[in-house]
Amino acid sequence: MSRPWFVKRQAVRASAVQQAARLLGAVLAATLVGLLLFLPFDVNPLQAYWTMLSDAFFTVRGLSNTLNKTAPLILVGLATVVAWRAGFGYLGFEGCLLLGAVASTSVALQALPGGPLAAWPWPLLVLVCAMAAFLVGGVWAGVVAWLRVRYGGNEVLMSLMSNYLAVFLLQYLVSGPLRAPGDLPQSARLPISTWLPYLWDGGRAHAGILLALTAALLVWHTMKHLRIGYEWVVVGLNPRAASYGGIPVGRRIMLAAFFSGGLAALAGISDVLGSHHRLLDGMSEGVGFVGMVVALLGKLSAAGVAVSAFLYAGMTVGADSMQRQSQVPSSVVVIVQCLIILFVLASALLDRYRWVGWRRTATPQTREGG
C-alpha cells in the first residue's frame, strides 16, 4: 500500500499568519501556472503582469476604477457572509442587487426637475434611495427565507430562480415603463443631486467604497461582538443545538436573510448612483455571483471579503488594460483568477490534513483515539 502525500490530523484553526501565507502561496502558484498561457503571444509575461498590476493599483485612474468595482463586490460578499454563516444557502444576490438598483432608480427619478422630491437636498436623497434599496432587497431575500422556514422549500432552487425574475423585471422596466427616449434600453439619467460624490480629481472613484467599508465594519462587529451574530453562527453550524439553547432558529434565519438581501441591494445603489447614474440592462456584470466567490476567498469573514474583493477587482481592471496595451486577451487573467480561487479553496485542505510530502516514511500523525 503506498503511503499518502497528506495525512489526516485533528482539525486546527490556522493562525492569521498561516492564512496569509497560504493566500500568498495560492496567488503565486496561480500566477506561475498562468505564465503558460502567455506562450502563444509574443509578450514578456512579467511585463504583462506588471502592466496589469500598475494600471489597476498604481495610477489614479486605474485605482479609481478598481475601487468602483471593489465596492459592490464587498457588499455582495458581506451579504454572502451573513446569509451563509447563518446556514441560509442563498444564491440570489444578483437579483437583490438588480432590485436594489431598480428601487433606488425609482426613488431617484422622482428628484428630476418637476418631480415630487426635486427640492430635497443631496444627502437626504441618497439616504432615502439607500433605504428603499435595502428594504426591497431585504424583503426579496426574506421571502425566500420565509418560504423555507415556513414550508421547508429549497432555498438554493428558489433563490436561483428568483434571480431570473429580477433580471427580466429589470429588462422589462428599462425597455418599457422607465425607458428614456433614445436607442438604448436604459432609464433617464438620474439628477446630480442623487449621485454618490467623487472622492478625488483625476479619477471617477465614488463614495460607494466608503459605504462598502462601513458595511464591512458593521458586519465584522456584528459577527464578533453582537449577540445576534453569535446566534447566527450557532444556527448555521448546528440548528438543533441552537434551538436547545433557546435560539428561535426560523426567525434568526429570516432576519439574516433580510440583512443579507439588503446588503446585496446596496451593491446596486453603488452601481447606479455611483458609476452609471442610470438604470441599464446588464449593468451588474455578474457581480451578484462573483461576490459569493469573493466571500469564499475571504473565508466568510468581513475583513477577508474586503481584501479579496479589492484584489479581485484590481485584477479585472488590470486585465482590461493589459488587453488594450499588449493584445493578450483579458480571458488569460480570468483564467488566472479562477486558478487563484481553486488554489485558495484547496488550501483549506491543510486545516485537516498535514502535508508529509517527501518525508512520507515518517510516522503519520493521526487523530487520537480513546
Of the pair 228, 303, the CB lying nearest another protein is at 228
Residue in 228, 307, 335, 356 binding another protein, rule: CB under 8 A:
228
Provide CB contacts within 8 A for 173, sequence distance 6+.
102, 187, 279
Closer of 32 and 241 to another protein (Cβ) = 241
Tracing cell 436547545 back to the chain, one arrives at 244
Q: Which residue's entry shows cell 433606488? A: 104
Kindly indicate which of the ranges 173-181, 203-211, 222-230, 334-342 contains the residues binding another protein, using the contact rule CB under 8 A: 222-230
Judged by CB under 8 A, which stretch of 36-44, 106-114, 219-227, 254-262 contacts another protein?
A: 219-227
Q: Of the ranges 134-142, 156-164, 206-214, 246-254, which one interacts with another protein (CB under 8 A)?
A: 246-254
The window from 92-100, 241-249, 263-271, 322-330 that contacts another protein (CB under 8 A) reads: 241-249
The most distant pair of C-alpha atoms in the chain lies apart, rounded to whole Å, by 81
Q: Are 100 and 268 in contact (CB under 8 A)?
A: yes
Options 28, 127, 226, 349; binder of another protein; rule CB under 8 A:
226
Whichever of 13 and 359 has its CB closer to another protein, that residue is 13
Dihedral-angle region of residue 364 (phi above 0 means left; psi in -120 to 50 means alpha; beta otherwise): beta
Which range binds another protein by CB under 8 A, 173-181, 183-191, 207-215, 362-370?
A: 362-370
* In the complex, least distance from residue 87 CB atom to another protein, rounded to whole angstroms: 12
Cell of 117: 422630491
In this structure, are residues 269 and 101 in contact, taking their beta carbons and an 8 Å threshold?
Answer: yes
**Minimum distance between the CB of residue 367 and another protein, rounded to whole angstroms?**
8
What whole-number distance in Å separates Cα of residue 15 and Cα of residue 287?
30
Q: DSSP label at 357?
A: G
Cα distances (Å, whole numbers) of residue 66 to 2, 89, 204, 318, 357:
48, 29, 10, 9, 39
Closest CA to 34 of 243, 339, 284: 339
Can residue 359 be called a binding residue for another protein (CB under 8 A)?
A: no
DSSP calls for 267-301:
HHHIIIIIIISS-BTTTTTTHHHHHHHHHHHTTT-
348 touches another protein by CB under 8 A: no
With binding defined as CB under 8 A, does residue 219 bind another protein? no
The mark string for 60-99 relative to another protein (x by CB under 8 A, - otherwise) is: ----------------------------------------
Site string for another protein, 11-30 (x = CB under 8 A): x-x-----------------
The sign one gets for the Cα dihedral 260, 92, 293, 320 is negative
Query: Whole-angstrom Cα distance, residue 125 to residue 304?
Result: 32
Quote the least distance from Cβ 211 to another protein, whole Å. 23
Residue 169 or residue 233: which is nearer to another protein going by CB? 233
Name the minimum Å distance from CB 353 to another protein: 15
Rounded to a whole number of angstroms, the minimum distance from the CB of residue 301 to another protein is: 14
Length of the chain equals 370
Candidates 56-64, 121-129, 198-206, 235-243; binding stretch for another protein (CB under 8 A): 235-243
Please answer whether residues 269 and 100 qualify as being in contact, where contact means their C-beta atoms are separated by less than 8 angstroms: yes
Task: Select from 31-39, 102-110, 308-316, 360-368 the region that touches another protein (CB under 8 A).
Answer: 360-368
- HSE, side-chain direction, 13 A CA sphere, residue 114: 0
Residues that bind another protein (CB under 8 A): 1, 10-11, 13, 225-228, 230-231, 233-234, 237-238, 240-241, 243-248, 363-370
